[in-house]
Amino acid sequence: MIELMVTVSDFRPDRACPHPSKSGNLARILLLRNAMYLIHEARLLAPDVKLFRIQAPRVARKRKAGQFVILRVHEQGERIPITIADSDPERGDITIVVQGIGKTTKLLNSLEAGDSILDVVGPLGKPSEVEDFGTAVVIGGGVGAAIAYPTAVALKKAGNKVISILGGRTKDLVVLEDEIRAASDEVIVTTDDGSYGQKGLVTDALQKMIDDGVPIHYVLAIGPIPMMRAVAETTRPHGIKTVVSLNSIMIDGTGMCGGCRVSIDGQSEFACVDGPEFDAHRVDFDVMRNRNAMYRGQETEALDRFMADPESELARVPGHRCRLEDAEVEG
């Protein structure tokens, strides 16, 4: 641990734990490390789905649509890959959207603005293929909309007509609709229960467009594995170029662990370094589904331990462990 004396005017939020201080105070701040990543904003988009804006200037300057970062919340935490939803190079921050499903994503979603994340590494992965295809259909299922959003923006900037299809089980699970609308020429919303938009699946809306003779030159689909597979089978008979993101299977993010091995036309590739985006018509979704479930037992066990005692895990988070000592007011 490093002990520093800082004044408020010298306080660097990207290098210290974010305790509020009064103007003119001197504070001795006990730090775990001298480089952490401050959370500027944290807000719920839907149940168990949270948006974070994190100080990471180098990543913000370099990232491209489709790339991701590896996060580690604390020293003993696991590394998890999260796609970058947006960035602001001038402010020096990136935006991610996290769905709390497993232990680490639920831990991350327990954090608030002012907390810090220990490690943010990136940008990683190959960027999305972006060119002027003509008419591009961007499909986001649930939180997949946040992953598809930066590519929708890039496709629009490249000159495409962008038609976005957002899907969710219910209205509450449709996320980033306003942002997607700003990047699209047309937006179609579907919900399984009919609580918002059209009742049905994203593939129903896509099939209707095909049946109506809408010219489609490119489709990007990001969401649950069954949804991406269904999109691939919808476009396959028509020969429409279709891309899916296999980010959900990634673990290490550097190609060293082999956990994200996928079968592409019968050949092994790694989602984290060869992707995460692949030609949907070449992906073996059966292999993808089986590999994605390989560690479900361990994941469930880790989640159960966390839910039984979340405070002990939160105590390891940098922003929770740092503390003010010997605070004194000058003048």
Cα 270 to Cα 139: distance, rounded to the nearest angstrom: 23
Which residues 6+ apart lie within 8 Å of 169 measured at CB? 142, 191, 192, 193
pLDDT of residue 11: 33
Around 266, how many Cα atoms within 13 Å sit in the side-chain half-sphere?
0
Q: What's the first-to-final CA gap in the chain, in angstroms?
A: 30
Q: Between residues 326 and 257, which one has the greater pLDDT?
A: 257
Three-state secondary structure call for residue 4: strand
Q: Give pLDDT, residue 319.
A: 58
Check residue 323 and give its pLDDT. Answer: 36
C-alpha distances in angstroms, 313 versus 29, 73, 154, 257, 309?
A: 22, 10, 38, 25, 7
Choose between 209 and 305: higher pLDDT.
209
Q: Within a 13 Å sphere around the CA of 93, how many CA atoms are in the beta-carbon half? A: 16
- Sorting pLDDT into bands at 50, 70 and 90, what band is 215? very high
Compute the C-alpha angle 65/123/53, nearest 5°: 80
What pLDDT is attached to residue 307?
A: 87
Residue 241 has pLDDT above 50, yes or no: yes
Question: Which two three-digit tokens encode residue 86?
Answer: 């947006």
Q: In the predicted model, is pLDDT for residue 171 greater than 50?
A: yes
Where does the pLDDT of residue 35 fall: very low under 50, low under 70, confident under 90, or very high at 90 and above? low
In this structure, are strands 198-199 and 186-191 parallel, antiparallel, or unpaired? parallel
Q: Closest Cα partner for 60 from 9, 123, 129?
A: 123
Q: Whole-model pTM?
A: 0.80
The rounded mean pLDDT for the chain is 82
Residue 126 in this model has a pLDDT that exceeds 60: yes
List domains and CATH numbers for the chain. Answer: 1-35 (no CATH), 38-124 (2.40.30.10), 135-245 (3.40.50.80)
- Residue pLDDT, tens place only, 177-192: 999 999 999 999 999 9
